[in-house]
A and B are shown apart, each in its own frame.
Chain A
Amino acid sequence: MTTNEIHEKLKARFGDAVGPLSEPKIDPFAVVRADALPEIARFLRDEPSLALDFLENLSGVDYPKRNVIEVVYHLFSYGLKHGIVLKVEANREDPRVPSVEAIWKSANWMEREAYDLLGLVFEGHPDLRRVLLPDDWEGHPLRKDWQEHGGYHGISNVRENPLVELRRLDEIARAEELKRNPPPPPPPAAAAPAAPAAPSTPPAPQTPPAGT
């Protein structure tokens, strides 16, 4: 079944809850309403002519300008070899989306990942915890306005260029070495450079004092 046919089938069943299929800019997708998502997901999996049994990918994409975080579902059917891409738009201030964990178990970890990195809350998820970042991490790094803290538990994530640091250490070592073994006083030959200067300004010949 082509993506268009799957989409028409969804449209016939759920009406306004399913948006139009986007223009095929490489991969087309359809936006669905968040509250209808669990029903749509169940229909997609259980309807024998669709049988989309594989949630291939679930990712969140942040769009601060539209004040929206999109959740993107890539669905695929092993048996019928067709698929569709659905999107749900969540409000960026309070992003809540119903969980599809009960329909595809693979959503469990992928929803945890999206919660961790983008702060999406999946309602109905049995165990929504951070998965990649530490439990006490603050913020959601894949949001576009996320700022680095500059450190974590007192460990700075800003380092001086190690080469600069090495050069500084070298200079300290050299200064100490100089202090311990001061260089020998310059040999008397150091005066030599002055000597060649002499011919350039020859001393005026001693004129004998004018005698009377």
Chain B
Amino acid sequence: MSTYTSTLGGHRYRFDSLARLLAAASPERSGDRLAGLAADSAQQRVAARWALADVPLAQFLAEPVIPYEDDDVTRLIVDTHDLAAFAPVAALTVGGFREWLLSEAADAETLAAVSAGLTPEMVAAVSKLMGNADLVAVARKVRVVTAFRSTIGLPGRLATRLQPNHPTDDPAGVAAALLDGLLLGSGDAVIGINPATDSPKAVRDLLELLDGVIQRYQIPTQSCVLCHVTTSVDLMERGAPVDLVFQSIAGTQAANASFGVTLGLLDEAYAAAGELNRGTVGHNALYFETGQGSALSADAHHGVDQQTVEARAYAVARRYDPLLVNTVVGFIGPEYLYDGRQILRAALEDHFCGKLLGLPMGLDICYTNHADADDDDIATMLTMLGVAGASFVICTPGGDDIMLNYQSASYHDALYLREVLGLRPAPEFEAWLDGIGLLDERGAIRDVSGTAHPLTAIGKELAA
């Protein structure tokens, strides 16, 4: 391991490894303090950034933050690294990389071409030298387009996950929340339910409910009931209508083990989902969720700061050409991200890192009620991530998830974002919305409350 040093304010700071340097250079965050990895002082933090700016990108290939022998995510990162794609940036330092990313030379095509040559640690490192505006400016240039029954990530588009959760998986309760979301123009990324149990029967019932609505109204979208990957594989074998295969993933082998997954299991699920071939306009069939703090929470972080570990989860994700990846940014609680400021920063970092690594990044912009955050933080985050070109956001009725007891963006928030930034839904979904009479003459979602809309048949049947 190398030693990294810099001098600031007459004091010489020394960092004993790349992992220590990355952690000390991270913006202040409660999770890194909890792990004992954060900088001891504001000056040490900046000193770490000075030292990090001089590190050649190639050093990240020479010094893995978690040893190759100890961790299959490291092996995945090293073994799949594309040296040819890396060539255009191989001579840069982290500081130089930041300037290159911000320059006109790094346009959408160039960034897409270099993506396979970048490792999670490289993009995490450069993010630590970037301001929030830098993270927006660069992420905005990156385009990642995926498709299943709708196309996600096109310029000028913003998709949403409609999340009609219910604490006891009551079908009528789910359908009621589903109707609410559809009438507000939501659901083009996925209609996705977090079930209350992982029981295959309960999951199958919900899958059939969603599949029934999608088929009956010919909605160009996909469903997902977010169960463990082994449950999905099992259900696929038994003929259940599985569109997307879901899994929570993390950036170390041990953290993935705490989720009950291995790369082998994910390989299997990827193959099984591919065989089903239920997509119409594309074949990206996986859906991953991630979030800073999960490796620390599982005591599986190997002394690596929480943002760098999070970026490593994206290396896992990109192996499987997912339709959707989202960071559940404020979900785990204030011991990892303390307040709105830390959650915003993490959201921008995650989105930037995921995009640079070639992923269709969306966000669950959210907080728990014991974090120091409120609905104004949601609005701030939404606006910045909308400008940054997020592929999709997660939306719940009124921004209040009654199943998971946390606050997220609402269907109304998505309407706001589309309106102020001139963003439109996924093209196939937009055409469907128009066909079913939900778009007004400007292409905005019509307010149909109080009118006899065909979709309300769903509600009338339930209410009867």
Chains A and B bind each other: no
Residues of B within 8 A of A (CB): none
Chain A residues with CB under 8 Å of chain B are none
